[in-house]
């Protein structure tokens, strides 16, 4: 095939790659996206979107089962998992098709095939149509990540599953074991418990969702245990046996005693590895660390000035919306715009477990570690009129602020629609809000988000309605 010249070539079409290409096109650059698989990357195909489709089904199913509490009585409520899978696949198809439409609308070429760097400005692409060379003034490596196995638990997608395999199941396992209490672990636990699985989470650390505020983590643990999801922390898994068709996990509990847990499927949700091997980085001289993450500066630029990297390849957060923000930053930097580096302290982090968890900014512990004189304001959803109407009174809003300047340092939410309430929290931190400015912002009633205003009051004399 004939060689082609571009201003920007992006390897990978996930939420970092395709967004970077679109922004570059908007700024007048001729851009192309190189993709071996389906458009949209992990997020749209086997990550964010299909997992939230499963979680939505589980939520609706639970609401239907609990409807009698508010006078809605329905008989024979059950899960049609085949229909759930079909729904998930329709959503994925619609979203990936949308990415294709956006790329076409912005006149971005899509080259199907495996892209490999051959120089600071060249990529070799091997596809069904043969091999071609793509020449570009700048290149973005946005190849994403893949689930990581454990030495004693190699993912086979038959009994030992990754999140990708869980989303491809055709029936609900009766018993599900989950190694790892991070975002993927708690979301999959929520979905499949809602579908009817008996779920046990095994976490090596003292608490699940370790990046969240400690009080939020503790509240989620209590909520899970009330639902019947077993949460085992401070455990050390020693072995996994699949010889009898199911799976048996041997572990040492928090008291040092050897225990066993049995299941039909085991989800390994401990880590993801960057897809940066065998794509030419070493040959071109792009620096990577010992784990394979690409080393970049605050403009996401590697040690080779024409090569950038974003998203899971650089290992900053593993969040789709951060990859998108990094992609936009790179495109604008290439265009010569004045660009402000991303403040990773202020990245919003949502989790669609039940109850939902969402936070942005520093935890109370982090703020104290950095030397702030901390004040905390909390408001429980049990005192919220709207949460009471929804019969979702578990959880709270917690605000961490600096006593000296009243600056809000972090907002942490666990409870109904926490992932949507995160919007105001994110704006508060990005605009350097103070507790006083939050209190003086009138919050509509009766809403869920007025809990943020009440938590703001709690930074001072106390909340009004609790």
Give the residue numbers annotated as catalytic, written as ranges: 445
Q: Could you write out the three-class secondary structure of 34-84? A: EECCCCCHHHHHHCHHHHHHHHHHHHHHHHHHHHHHHCCCCCCCCCCHHHH
Tokens 């969040």 belong to 319
On whether the CB atoms of residues 251 and 397 are closer than 8 A, the answer is: no
Comparing C-alpha atoms, which of 445, 442, 394, 399 is closest to residue 416?
394
What are the φ and ψ backbone dihedral angles of 49, each rounded to 5 degrees?
Answer: -70, -55
What are the structure tokens assigned to 340, written together?
Answer: 């402000």
Q: Pick from 118, 98, 96, 117: which is nearest to 106 by CA?
A: 98
In 3-state terms, what secondary structure has residue 349? Answer: strand
Q: How far is CA 327 from CA 182, 275, 323, 330, in A?
A: 25, 17, 6, 5
Helix spans in 106-181 (H): 163-166
Per-residue tokens: 74: 């329905």
Tell the burial category of 38 from Cβ atoms under 10 Å away from its Cβ (0-12, 13-18, 19+).
Answer: middle
Residue 346 carries which DSSP code? G
Residue 118 near residue 280 (C-beta atoms within 8 A): yes
DSSP-assigned letter for residue 383: G
């Amino acid at each position: 095939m004939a060689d082609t010249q571009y201003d920007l070539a992006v390897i990978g079409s996930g939420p970092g790659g395709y967004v970077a290409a679109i922004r570059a096109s908007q700024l007048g650059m001729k851009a192309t996206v190189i993709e071996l698989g389906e458009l949209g990357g992990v997020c749209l195909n086997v990550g964010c979107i299909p997992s939230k489709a499963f979680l939505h089904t589980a939520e609706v199913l639970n609401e239907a089962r609990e409807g009698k509490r508010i006078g809605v009585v329905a008989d024979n409520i059950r899960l049609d998992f085949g229909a759930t899978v079909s729904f998930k696949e329709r959503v994925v198809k619609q979203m990936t098709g949308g990415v294709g439409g956006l790329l076409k609308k912005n006149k971005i070429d899509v080259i199907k095939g495996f892209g490999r760097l051959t120089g600071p400005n060249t990529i070799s692409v091997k596809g069904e149509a043969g091999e071609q060379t793509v020449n570009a003034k700048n290149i973005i490596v946005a190849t994403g990540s893949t689930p990581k196995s454990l030495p004693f638990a190699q993912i086979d997608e038959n009994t030992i599953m990754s999140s990708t395999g869980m989303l491809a199941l055709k029936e609900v396992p009766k018993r599900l074991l989950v190694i790892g209490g991070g975002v993927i672990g708690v979301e999959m636990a929520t979905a499949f418990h809602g579908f009817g699985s008996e779920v046990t989470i095994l976490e090596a650390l003292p608490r699940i969702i370790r990046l969240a505020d400690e009080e939020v983590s503790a509240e989620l643990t209590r909520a899970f245990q009330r639902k019947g999801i077993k949460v085992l922390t401070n455990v050390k898994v020693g072995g996994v046996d699949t010889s009898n068709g199911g799976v048996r996990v041997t572990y040492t509990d928090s008291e040092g005693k050897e225990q066993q847990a049995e299941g039909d499927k085991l989800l390994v949700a401990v880590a993801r590895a960057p897809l940066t091997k065998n794509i030419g980085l070493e040959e071109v001289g792009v620096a990577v660390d010992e784990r394979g993450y690409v080393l970049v500066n605050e403009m996401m630029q590697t040690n080779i000035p024409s090569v950038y990297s974003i998203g899971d390849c650089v290992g900053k957060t593993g969040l789709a919306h951060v990859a998108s923000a990094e992609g936009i930053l790179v495109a604008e930097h290439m265009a010569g715009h004045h660009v402000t580096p991303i403040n990773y302290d202020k990245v919003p982090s949502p989790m669609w477990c039940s109850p939902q968890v969402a936070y942005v900014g520093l935890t109370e512990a982090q703020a104290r570690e950095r030397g702030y004189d901390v004040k905390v304001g909390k408001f429980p959803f049990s005192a919220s009129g709207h949460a009471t109407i929804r019969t979702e009174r578990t959880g709270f809003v917690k605000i961490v602020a600096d006593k000296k300047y009243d600056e809000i340092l972090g907002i942490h939410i666990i409870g109904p629609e926490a992932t949507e309430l995160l919007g105001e929290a994110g704006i508060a931190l990005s605009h350097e809000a103070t507790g006083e400015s939050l209190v003086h912002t009138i919050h509509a009633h009766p809403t869920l988000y007025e809990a943020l205003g009440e938590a703001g009051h709690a930074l001072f004399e106390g909340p009004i309605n609790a």
